[in-house]
Structure 1
Amino acid sequence: MPTVSPAWSYTLHLSRDPRSPGIARSTLRSVLSAYRLGELAPTAELLASELLTNAHLHTDGPYALYIRPTVSGQLRLGVWDKDPTVPAGLGDGGARGAVPDGAAERGRGLALVRACADAWGASLLGGPGGASGGKVLWAECG
């Protein structure tokens, strides 16, 4: 298992464009390659893709991808958006949440995050004057 030293972090601000999740995945691959963490790429890309797609489909504004190592040696990926609504099953870091039935065409993304991430969760962000600063959905792998 790779060791990630906590000396760096990246934030990629993304416009509301259907190409943004793909651009973010390419950026993630480049970052992982630069830090010789390529073996994390398949899982990290899956996690980032599901979180980015969730932000793109379920919010109406820009979003951002955060990439950083944790002190414990994991890689943490976070996706910020301005909507303060936390999807069921991701915010508590422990609940498994519902899995859609086999006929459902949507709803598997966060189930994949829960299945593939070593840890996951959500953080609500406060804005000036108590206004919502949105949320960050995050997942860790390593």
Structure 2
Amino acid sequence: MATVSPPWSYTLQLPHDPRAPGIARVTLRAVLAAHQLSELTPTAELLASELLTNAHLHAPGPSALRVLWAEPGRLRVAVWDTDPTVPSGFREGAPVDLPQRDAEHGRGLHLVRACADAWGVSVLRELGASRGGKLLWAEYRAAGRPWG
């Protein structure tokens, strides 16, 4: 009889600090190892690192990393930040303009889109306890694991 692991999620609150992506990667490794999903670590780290670096560079406040395993074989990595502006690489219908070969910036969200099976953004309005901002997310299917 096949077993199904229950859904789980973790959220890590991070200050506006250049060390935040590194702290998030270490935490992400530990979470995935605890759930016997270490094979997902390289892609999950890349997604988290790029999204968190983007948040640090473009949002003035704190951020948060959320990792969600809601369906067998599917991992979602999401980053919340305080700036409601949607990056051009995540805008609906926006052309995918690659940066110049010698450009030092501008590849992060292209990498996220290339590595993810699905991606998106939610702009959050400040209501009650909400702090507003946006949530960028990317998810991908683990090789050899079925979609839920």
Q: Same fold (TM over 0.5)?
A: yes
Residue aligning to 1:11: 11
Unaligned runs of 5+ in 2: 142-148
Unaligned runs of 5+ in 1: none
Residue aligning to 2:138: 139
Aligned: 1:29 with 2:29: yes
Residue aligning to 2:108: 109
Q: Give the Å deviation of 1:73.
A: 3.3
Could you tell me whether the CA contact under 8 Å between 2:80 and 2:135 is conserved in 1?
yes
Residue aligning to 2:144: none
Could you tell me whether the CA contact under 8 Å between 1:68 and 1:77 is conserved in 2?
yes
Q: How does 1:14-93 map to 2 (within 5 A)?
A: 14-71=14-71, 73-92=73-92
d(CA) in 2 for partners of 1:96, 1:70: 30
Q: Give the Å deviation of 1:6.
A: 4.5
Q: Give the Å deviation of 1:89.
A: 2.6
Q: Normalising by structure 1, report the TM-score.
A: 0.88
Q: Percent identity?
A: 64
Q: Normalising by structure 2, report the TM-score.
A: 0.85
Residue aligning to 2:117: 118
Task: Give the match's secondary structure for 2:64.
Answer: strand
Q: Give the Å deviation of 1:88.
A: 1.1
Task: Give the match's secondary structure for 1:100.
Answer: coil
Amino acid aligned to 2:9? S
- Per the alignment, do residues 15 and 132 of structure 1 end up closer, same or farther by CA in structure 2, a change over 3 Å counting? closer
Amino acid aligned to 1:29? R
How many residue pairs match? The answer is 138
d(CA) in 2 for partners of 1:110, 1:79: 12
Task: Give the match's secondary structure for 2:97.
Answer: coil
d(CA) in 2 for partners of 1:105, 1:116: 20
Task: Give the match's secondary structure for 2:8.
Answer: coil
RMSD: 2.1
Q: Give the Å deviation of 1:95.
A: 5.3
Deviations 1:31-72 (A, max 9, x none): 000000000000010011000000011111000000011336
